[in-house]
Amino acid sequence: MRKGDSNILLWTILIVGLVFMGSVSITVAADDPEARAIMQRVDARDDGDNQTADMQMVLIDRSGGERLRKLATFTKDKGPNTLRLMFFLQPADVKDTAFLTIDYDDPAHDDDQWLYLPALKKTKRIATTDKSGSLWDRT
């Protein structure tokens, strides 16, 4: 088949398709309750922004020594805001420590951070001005 023949064939298929589509009658109800229910279920579905993960953190000190932390993380999309929760699983000295961050979409609202220390059985809010230091210096 020559190039010109294939172009004619494509145009013929396109024109026949358009003529066929024009001859088909489509009836749409103005407010179909079943269609609305489907749309609402689609809108309410999990959009994939919620996550769970098992992570590994390697801390390297100035002399090159490494310390390993294992964590379980959970992220929940709450409208425009995001909640992140991290549970430390290993090693034993940080096991069950939890760290919660609430990221607000509004730039005028500072994010909230909370640290749970199981050895003290206390939850501590991390001040906005204190977010740059080490978590372990906040006890």
Report the distance separating Cα 106 and Cα 82, nearest Å: 11
Rounded to a whole number of angstroms, the CA Rg of the chain reads 28
Query: What is the band of 8 on the pLDDT scale with cuts at 50, 70, 90?
Result: confident
Report the distance separating Cα 81 and Cα 86, nearest Å: 17
| DSSP helix, strand, coil percent of the chain (3-state; round to 5) | 30, 35, 35
Mean of the pLDDT values across residues 77-98? 90
SS3 57: strand
Would you say 69 and 99 are in contact if contact means Cβ atoms under 8 Å apart? no
Is pLDDT of 136 > 80? no
In this structure, what are the phi and psi dihedrals at residue 7, rounded to the nearest 5 degrees?
A: -65, -40
SS3 1: coil
* pTM exceeds 0.85, yes or no: no
More confident residue, 7 or 42: 42
